[in-house]
Amino acid sequence: MDHEGEDARDRPLERTYRALTPPAARLFRLLGLHPTHRFGAAAASALTGGPPGEVPVLVGELADAGLIVGFDQDRYLMSEAARMFAAARAAVEEGGAECRAAVRRLLDHYLAVAASDDPEAREAEHDNLRACVLTAEEYGLDEPVWRLSEALWPLSARLGHPPEWIRVLGAGVEAAQRLDDRRAEGSTRRRLASALLALDRLDDAEVQLDAAVAAAREAGDRRGVAATVESLGLLRLRQGRPADAVELLGAAGGLHLDAGRPGEAVGPLDRALAIAGEACGPARTADLAVLRARCAGESGAPADEERFLRMALDGYERAGSPVAEDIGRRLRKPPR
């Protein structure tokens, strides 16, 4: 290999690199594709695609050569200079197809971490997980982009939706659009909106929620439509529009009920009932109480059903509505 034009700063790295055994040299090159300076032994194994048992020997050789530094059990650090040198060697010696395959193996590894039941493992890797979304985007791997952004949602919420995660969720939306997956687009937009709400970016959140409703409807995702309408209701509360919030929360509850999900209807309906009396008056409160009674009835809770029907009766009577008579008849019926 001709390296006469190499930067003088790379010459010590070049000498060290050329002294490595071929398997260790290949691992070193592939580590240049890792999206951050810190990595674990499992990530190194994923990059090579070889048996996990080979990695301890190889990383030991790299550490002995001073190319990486161990800083925790099975975790290592590579300097920026070494990482850039390794990435350049990978581009030349591995070629585009193998680099892409190695990155895909690495993304599959981190997808498994993101989807695991171990919150400590996810938090330990949160910088790598976030960076992997942008790496997948760089390589045009749209499916891993949105799958990672979806899988990372609980971690983003746990961390309080740091501003830098907005970019990750936005990448997920764009990937779902390129995949023409309207269901995925709707759910990812809804999560992005929640993160924007946490940062008090209400107008940006509204744009995302409006687009999420449209995507979910086009995909036939009834649960997604209901969840997004509920989120719009919570946004209206933040915007100081309680009457609009009541209508949207009530609509979300109705959508869940019509889809046979009374348990999921309880949350939005209870939120709507909590503010309906002051925001909308007794008749609208009574309408919501009827829906809430339906939840109870369909969930096998007759005592709660009667309680909400009595709330509805009181509201309709105070509003002078003729519906009060129908509710009264329902209450007088003997229990089934």
Flag whether 133 is in a domain: yes
Handedness of CA 14, 17, 19, 23 (dihedral sign): negative
Flag whether 246 is in a domain: no
| Cβ atoms of 48 and 27 closer than 8 Å | yes
**Encoded amino acid at 257, one letter:** L
Flag whether 202 is in a domain: yes
| Cβ atoms of 14 and 28 closer than 8 Å | no
Q: What is the DSSP letter of 335?
A: P
Q: Measuring CA to CA, which residue among 194, 270, 199 is closest to residue 227?
A: 194
Judge if 67 and 160 occupy the same domain: no
Residues in contact with 182: Cβ distance below 8 Å, sequence separation at least 6, in sequence order: 176, 215, 216, 218, 219, 221
Judge if 123 and 214 occupy the same domain: yes
Mean pLDDT per block of 10 residues along the chain (336 residues) reads 50 93 97 96 95 91 96 90 96 95 96 88 88 94 93 80 83 96 96 92 97 97 97 97 97 96 97 95 96 96 96 96 95 78
Flag whether 260 is in a domain: no
Which pLDDT value is given to residue 123? 83
Question: pTM, whole model, 2 decimals?
Answer: 0.84
To the nearest 5 percent, what fractions of the chain are helix, strand and coil?
Answer: 75, 5, 20
Judge if 205 and 153 occupy the same domain: yes
DSSP 80-118: HHHHHHHHHHHHHHTHHHHHHHHHHHHHHHHHHHHTSS-
Judge if 21 and 67 occupy the same domain: yes
Pairing of strands 69-72, 38-40: unpaired
Flag whether 266 is in a domain: no
- Of 203, 218, 233, the one marking the end of a domain is 218
Instruction: Identify the helix (H) or strand (E) that includes residue 209.
Output: helix 202-219
**Could you give phi then psi for residue 279, rounded to 5 degrees?**
-85, -30
Which pLDDT value is given to residue 276? 96
**What does the alpha-carbon distance between residue 163 and residue 201 come to, in Å, rounded to a whole number?**
11
Count CB-CB contacts under 10 A for residue 11.
11
| Cβ atoms of 127 and 119 closer than 8 Å | no
Count CB-CB contacts under 10 A for residue 67.
25
**What does the alpha-carbon distance between residue 257 and residue 262 come to, in Å, rounded to a whole number?**
5
Which pLDDT value is given to residue 9? 57
**Number of folded domains that form the chain:** 2
- Of 218, 236, 268, the one marking the end of a domain is 218
Which pLDDT value is given to residue 191? 92
Which pLDDT value is given to residue 336? 60
Flag whether 98 is in a domain: no
Flag whether 194 is in a domain: yes
Instruction: Please name the residue that has the structure tokens 């499916």.
Output: 143
Query: For residues 21, 24, 26 and 29, what is the CA-based torsion angle, rounded to 10 degrees?
Result: -120
Judge if 6 and 75 occupy the same domain: yes
**Could you give phi then psi for residue 236, rounded to 5 degrees?**
-60, -35
Instruction: Please name the residue that has the structure tokens 């090159």.
Output: 29
Residue 303: burial class (beta carbons within 10 Å; 0-12, 13-18, 19+) = exposed
Domain range enclosing 129: 117-218
**What does the alpha-carbon distance between residue 65 and residue 62 come to, in Å, rounded to a whole number?**
5
Judge if 122 and 214 occupy the same domain: yes
**What does the alpha-carbon distance between residue 257 and residue 235 come to, in Å, rounded to a whole number?**
22
- Of 183, 218, 253, the one marking the end of a domain is 218
**What does the alpha-carbon distance between residue 331 and residue 217 come to, in Å, rounded to a whole number?**
37
